[in-house]
Amino acid sequence: MQLQDVLYGVAITNLVGSTNREISVLTFDSREVKKDAVFFAVKGTLSDGHTFIPQTIAAGANVIICQELPEQKDAAVTYIEVEDTGIALGIMAANYYKNPSASLKLVGITGTNGKTTIATILFKLFRSLGFHTGMISTVQNQIDDDIIPATHTTPNPLALNKLLRQMADAGCTYCFMEVSSHAIVQHRIEGLIFAGGVFSNITHDHLDFHKTFDNYIRAKKAFFDVLPKSGFALTNADDKNGMVMLQNTKASKKTYALKQLADYKGRVIEDRFSGLNMDIDGVDVFFKLVGSFNAYNLLAAYGTALLLDQDKLAVLTILSNLSGAEGRFDYVSNAKQIIGIVDYAHTPDAVQNVLSTIHDIRKGTEQVITVIGCGGDRDRTKRPVMAQVACDWSDKVILTSDNPRTEDPMEILKEMEAGVSPTNRRKTLTIADRKEAIKTACHLARPGDIILIAGKGHEKYQEINGVKHHFDDKEVLTEQLNLLS
Ligand SMILES: CC(=O)N[C@H]1[C@@H](OP(=O)(O)OP(=O)(O)OC[C@H]2O[C@@H](n3ccc(=O)[nH]c3=O)[C@H](O)[C@@H]2O)O[C@H](CO)[C@@H](O)[C@@H]1O[C@H](C)C(=O)N[C@@H](C)C(=O)N[C@H](CCC(=O)O)C(=O)O
Ligand SMILES: Nc1ncnc2c1ncn2[C@@H]1O[C@H](COP(=O)(O)OP(=O)(O)OP(=O)(O)O)[C@@H](O)[C@H]1O
Ligand SMILES: N[C@H](CCC[C@H](N)C(=O)O)C(=O)O
Ligand SMILES: [Mg+2]
C-alpha cells in the first residue's frame, strides 16, 4: 500500500519527504514497529510517543506521524506533522482498512451506564430479525456467532477499523458499538461514519480522566456534534443532560422517555424479579430484563430499531424474549432460597439503581446484603459515594477489593469507609479478600435474603499490580451458595 492512499482527509501542517512510498503497517506502539511501518507518535497519559521516534526508525519505520518534527531527521524517512496525532491515526486507520464503517450501518451508544446493555440488546435483536450483525462492547466483540475478546470498551482506531472491516467482509448490515468518553476524547472514533448515536445517561464517573463533570458532559456531547445530517441522534429526555447532547447536532433529533412526552414513550406497569411489564407506545409488553433502569435500555433499543426502519411489533416481540448482557443483574439462588445477584454497577448511580430495584421488588422483610469494592487507578471521588449509597440501600454491606490495579487495596477501602456515615457504620464490615467477602455474605444470609455482588459483573479476573488473576464473582457466589444448601 502507498502512503498517499491512506493520507486522504488528514490535515497536514508540515511535510518532510515524499508521500509516494510503500508502507507496510500502521502502529502507535514502538514495540510493534517493523520494516516500512508508519509510526504515530501519540502523547499519552503515561508517556510521550515522540520519545520513541529514533528507536522506531532503527526498527524499520519509514514514515513518522507526529505533532512536533524532531530536530534530527533521517533522510530516508518521511515526516508528517499534524495538529493531533490521535485524529490522524483515526482517519488513517479508517483509510487503511478501506473505510469499513461506510459499508454497514454503524450505531454508537454512549453514556455513563447502560452502553453494554443497549448494544447487547440491539445486537441480539438485529440477529433475530435476520441480519448479519456486529457488536463492539466491554464484555466482548462479536460478528454473528464469532466472539472476539474485548480489551477496551471502545478499541483503539486500528483494532476498531480492523474489526469493522471483518464485519463488512462477513456481510454485516449493522454494527452496534459502545462509545466510551475516553474514546471520544482520544479520537478513537475519528473517521468513522455513524448511522446514528444513542445517549443513555450521564452521572458521576471517570473524573480522574475528565477532571470536571462539565468536561465529561462536553466529551459525550462531542460525539453527537459530529454525527452526519443523514444520521439520527437518540437521547434520553428524562436525563438532566439528555437534551444538551442534541444542542449542536446536525443529525435528526429523537427522544425516548418514561417520565415525559417523547418520540419513543414508555411506562413501567410492574417491575418484578421475573421481569418488567411495560407499556411502550401503547403496547403492553412483558420483558425478561429487571429494573426500571432496564426500562430505559429497552426503550433506547426499541427507538433505535424503529429509526433503522424495523417493524414495531416484530421488534417488541423479539425484545420481550431477550435476556440482558452477562454480569448485569445476573442472578442465582440456592435450595435455601437465598438469592445472589451479580451486577456490574461500578458508579454511584448504578449502585443506587440496582439496589433500589432490589428494594422495590423484594417481597417483605428479607435482608439485602451488598458486597462492593472500587477499582484502583480510577476515579477516587466516587469511592466514598459508592460506599454510602450501598449502605443507604442495604441492611449489611461488606466493603471489599475490586481491581486494585497498582493501588493498595486497604487505602482504597479507607477512602470508601470515609463515605460511611456514623449511623451506617454498624452495618458494614471490611474484608479485603473478595472471595472471603462473598463467602461471609453467604454465611450471613438467611432464607429469602438477597445478596448483591457489585462492581465486576462479567469480569473473569482481578487485576493486581498488572497481573490479571482468575476471579469470577458468579462462579464464587454460586459455589458458596451451593455449599450452604
Ligand atoms: C487512560 C487511557 O485511556 N489509556 C489508554 C492510552 O494509553 P496511554 O495514553 O496511557 O498511553 P501511554 O502509555 O502514555 O503511551 C503513549 C503512547 O506511547 C506509546 N508507547 C508507549 C510505550 C512504549 O514503549 N512505546 C510506545 O510507543 C503508546 O503505544 C502510546 O501510543 O492508550 C492506550 C493505547 O490505545 C490504551 O491501551 C490505554 O488504555 C488503558 C489500558 C486503559 O485502561 N484505558 C481505560 C481507562 C479506558 O480506555 N477505558 C474506556 C472505558 C471507560 C468506560 O467504561 O466508560 C474504554 O474505552 O475501554
Ligand atoms: N440505563 C441505565 N441507567 C442506570 N444504570 C444502569 C443502566 N443500565 C445499566 N445500569 C447499571 O450499570 C451497570 C453497568 O451497565 P452496562 O454495562 O450496560 O453499562 P456501560 O455503560 O456499558 O458501562 P461501562 O462504562 O463500564 O462500559 C449495570 O450493571 C447496572 O447496574
Ligand atoms: N470500564 C470501567 C470498568 C470499571 C469496573 C470496575 N470493576 C473497576 O475495575 O473499576 C472503567 O474502566 O472504569
Ligand atoms: Mg460497557
- For 145, the 3-state DSSP assignment is coil
- For the stretch 408-454, pLDDT in tens is 999 999 999 999 999 999 999 999 999 999 999 999 999 999 999 99
pLDDT for the residue 62 = 97
Q: Which of 115, 346, 456, 464 to mutate to test the pocket of ligand 3 (most atoms within 8 A of CB)?
A: 346
Q: How confident is the model at residue 362 (pLDDT cuts 50, 70, 90)?
A: confident
CA of 297 to the centre of ligand 2 (A): 9
Q: Which of 110, 117, 184 to mutate to test the pocket of ligand 2 (most atoms within 8 A of CB)?
A: 117
pLDDT at 223 over 80: yes
CA of 453 to the centre of ligand 3 (A): 14
pLDDT at 241 over 90: yes
Answer for the pair 338, 482: CB distance below 8 angstroms, yes or no. Answer: no
Please tell me the least confidently modeled range out of 67-81, 136-150, 356-370. Answer: 356-370
Please list, in sequence order, all residues whose beta carbon lies within 8 angstroms of the beta carbon of residue 26, skipping any fewer than 6 positions away: 6, 37, 38, 40, 89, 92, 93, 96, 158
Cell (9 digits) for 357? 430495584
- For the stretch 154-205, pLDDT in tens is 999 999 999 999 999 999 999 999 999 999 999 999 999 999 999 999 999 9
| Mean of all residue pLDDT scores within the chain | 97
Cell (9 digits) for 345? 454497577
pLDDT for the residue 484 = 85
pLDDT for the residue 433 = 98
pLDDT for the residue 327 = 97
Q: Can you give the residue ranges of every domain in the chain? A: 3-96, 98-320, 330-484
What is the third-level CATH fold of 98-320? UDP-N-acetylmuramoyl-L-alanine:D-glutamate ligase (3.40.1190)
Answer for the pair 338, 278: CB distance below 8 angstroms, yes or no. Answer: no
Pocket of ligand 1 (CB under 6 A): 28-31, 42, 44-47, 49, 52, 152-154, 156, 180-183
In the sheet that holds 275-280, the strands lie side by side as 146-149, 140-143, 133-136, 174-178, 105-110, 196-199, 232-236, 252-257, 264-272, 275-280, 283-287
Q: Please tell me if the CB atom of residue 458 comes closer than 6 angstroms to any atom of ligand 3.
A: no
Determine the average pLDDT of the residues in 372-377: 98
Domain 3-96 sits in CATH at 3.40.1390.10
CA of 350 to the centre of ligand 2 (A): 6
Cell (9 digits) for 99? 473505510
pTM for this predicted structure: 0.96
pLDDT at 95 over 90: yes
pLDDT for the residue 273 = 86
- Residue 134 counted as an annotated binding residue: no
Cell (9 digits) for 313? 411489533
What is the third-level CATH fold of 330-484? Protein-Tyrosine Phosphatase; Chain A (3.90.190)
